[in-house]
Amino acid sequence: MGRAEIAKQVAQFGTSLPGLASLGSGHFRNLVVGAGPAGYAVVSTLLDGGSQPTLWVDPEFQSGRLARYLEVPSNTKTKLFARFATTPFCGSDGAALDPYEGEDPEKGCQLQAAQQMVVRLSEAVHQEHGDKVIMRRGLVDCLDWQHDSWRIDHRQLSADRAFLATGSAPQDTDVLPGVPVIPLDEALIPSKLPGCVTPKDTVCVVGSSHSAILVLMNLMSMENGPKVVNLFRSPLKYAKYCPDGTIILDNTGLKGMAADWAREKLETGFYEKSGRLQRINTNKQDPGPATKHCTKVVTATGFKRNALPDISMDGRPVKDIHHDRHSGAIIPGKLYGFGIAFPEEVIDPEFGHKENNIGLWKFMRYTREALPAQKLCAMPH
Ligand SMILES: Cc1cc2nc3c(=O)[nH]c(=O)nc-3n(C[C@H](O)[C@H](O)[C@H](O)COP(=O)(O)OP(=O)(O)OC[C@H]3O[C@@H](n4cnc5c(N)ncnc54)[C@H](O)[C@@H]3O)c2cc1C
């Protein structure tokens, strides 16, 4: 099947599912909120662990945030996406790997392939396990623990335990008050930029993360692109692949195309020499004079959790939501969080600092370690 056909099929899948309101009443063993890569990882883990029935809710079933980043190059090698797709249960659906046909497993690819893969895997759950996993479009607004289960949205719907895989979104900070903001999600997409900036603009890009470098790459690659001022605090860092398979700065270092571009164009001062780019380390230099001329700003300094459903225990709101960064537990046995909003914590093997472990394969591996089959069976009904 060609790329265009896959894209069409993938787009149709979400809309084909019924809404949550169509489900009058029912009790489920599990509720999974969110159908990004992390939601899929949880659902497939529950299926493999024999835990059913599961109610799985998402507004679109289009793979979560990946659907916004179709044109973005991955920082992950293609083989790790394939590993995500071929973890036990999912191996039955070979079609999920179609989007990677012809890709080098040792190189990155466009995130569109990952997006299509996640939707196809979700579709396979629907087709092959529709009796065990009930998929409904919608938003879960509130969860109230009553007696021995979660009451969902004040409806006649309940579940023994809930898994939040609700994702995160770019954090907007008002770095240059009064200066129009280009949302990070727009700046990451090359085809959207011509509608956001003109050659007369001077765009301030804040940050030196993977996303910030992709934005710089997009802006500098534009024909008749704007001038750019890049404010940063930490120097460029690169992930290092060791022969034993470990990766140093796995989550905070640049990888893939962004790393190659930064080495070639930023470390050499290529664009700075031509006067199109000014990079300012704000720890060492006052950015004031350079930012005075900025007409647009993009901040790429981090992501924050999406709004969660209102959570209460016997009617009393649970205000502070904290998760255990090694088990995913928010309320052990009752409520868990996974994915980018509730990440695993790992220690960098060389520098010893803590990092949030983010990426599709990491979500799958962590979920399966945190929810082994024995634990799933032992959890009280
Ligand atoms: C620029 C960029 C490049 C990246 N590149 C890579 C890469 O190369 N490789 C890699 O592995 N990862 C990459 N990532 C990371 C990856 O895309 C994200 O980490 C991933 O999308 C997060 O998955 P998630 O399932 O946790 O959340 P999301 O994808 O955000 O999904 C959350 C889902 O939950 C739904 N939801 C939220 N609240 C509710 C509710 N109340 N009720 C029902 N549904 C709800 C949302 O609508 C959404 O569909 C990249 C990220 C960025 C920003």
Residues 358-368: pLDDT tens digits? 999 999 999 99
Q: Are residues 80 and 205 in the same domain?
A: no
CATH number for position 47 = 3.50.50.60
Among residues of the chain, what percentage have pLDDT more than 90?
83
Give the nearest ligand 1 atom to 62 CA: 49
Query: In sequence order, what are the residues at sequence separation of 6 or more whose Cβ sits closer than 8 angstroms to the Cβ of residue 290?
Result: 229, 278, 280
Ligand 1 in contact with 140 (CB < 6 A)?
Answer: yes
**CATH code, domain with 230:** 3.50.50
Q: Are residues 69 and 158 in the same domain?
A: yes
Centre of ligand 1 from the C-alpha of residue 227, in Å: 31
Structure tokens given for 43: 């659902």
pLDDT surpasses 80 at 91: no
Determine the distance separating the centroid of ligand 1 and the alpha carbon of 279, expressed in angstroms: 30
Please give the pLDDT value at position 7.
79
Rounded to whole angstroms, the Cα distance separating 241 from 250 reads 9
Listed residues 301, 322, 353: the one ending a domain: 301
Strand duo 142-146 + 310-313: pairing: parallel
- State how far the Cα of 300 lies from the Cα of 298, in Å rounded to an integer: 7
**Same domain membership, residue 328 and residue 225:** no
Tokens of 50: 């024999």
The pTM is what?
A: 0.95
Tell whether ligand 1 has an atom less than 6 A from the beta carbon of residue 250. Answer: no
Q: Give 11's pLDDT tier (boundaries 50, 70, 90).
A: confident
Give the CB-side neighbour count of residue 235, counting CA atoms within 13 A: 4
Q: Is the CB of 64 under 6 A from ligand 1?
A: yes
SS3 375: helix
Query: Which of 163, 211, 306, 367 is the pocket-test mutation for ligand 1 (most atoms within 8 Å of CB)?
Result: 306
Structure-model confidence comparison of residues 233 and 97, the more confident one: 233
pLDDT digits 0-9 by tens, 260-315: 999 999 999 999 999 999 999 999 999 999 999 999 999 998 899 999 999 999 99
Q: Check pocket membership of 34 for ligand 1, CB cut-off 6 A.
A: yes
Last residue of some domain: 253, 285, 301?
301
Q: Of 10, 103, 166, which is best to mutate to test ligand 1, by the most ligand atoms within 8 angstroms of its C-beta?
A: 166
Out of 31-45, 90-104, 322-336, least confident range: 90-104
How many domains is the chain partitioned into structurally? 2
Dist. CA 84–CA 363, nearest whole Å: 9
Choosing from 10, 45, 75, 137 the residue with most ligand 1 atoms within 8 A of its CB, the one to mutate for a pocket test is: 75
Choosing from 250, 280, 301, the residue where a domain stops is: 301
Same domain as 197, residue 244: yes
304 CA distance to ligand 1 middle (Å): 11
In one letter, which amino acid is 181? Answer: V
Residue 38 shares a structural domain with residue 132: yes
User: Do residues 23 and 149 both lie within one domain?
Assistant: yes
The gap between the terminal CA atoms of the chain, to the nearest Å, is: 44
The HSE-up count of residue 21 (CA atoms within 13 Å, CB side) is 0
Q: Does residue 85 have its Cβ closer than 6 Å to ligand 1?
A: no
Query: 103 in ligand 1 pocket by Cβ < 6 Å?
Result: no
Same domain, 151 and 14: yes
Domain containing residue 331? 3-169+304-378
Q: 358 CA to middle of ligand 1, Å?
A: 10
Q: Is 343 in the pocket of ligand 1 (CB under 6 A)?
A: no
pLDDT of residue 143: 98
Specify whether 337 is located in the same domain as 246. Answer: no
Separation of alpha carbons 344 and 366, rounded Å: 7
DSSP-based three-state secondary structure for 280: strand
Rounded CA-CA distance 374/381 in Å is 14
In ligand 1, which atom is closest to the CA atom of 38?
25
- Give per-residue pLDDT as tens, 43-75: 999 999 999 999 999 999 999 999 999 999 999
Rg of the chain (C-alpha set): 22
> In what helix (H) or strand (E) does residue 239 lie, and over which residues does it extend?
none
Say whether both 239 and 358 belong to one domain.
no
Q: How far is CA 279 from CA 193, 231, 315, 316, in A?
A: 20, 6, 52, 50
Query: Is 169 a pocket residue for ligand 1 (Cβ < 6 Å)?
Result: no
Q: Whose CA is nearest to atom 49 of ligand 1?
A: 64
Atom of ligand 1 lying closest to residue 57 CA = 43
User: Average pLDDT in the 174-183 region?
Assistant: 93
CA 264, CA 287: separation in Å to the nearest integer?
25
Residue 328, ligand 1, Cβ within 6 A: no
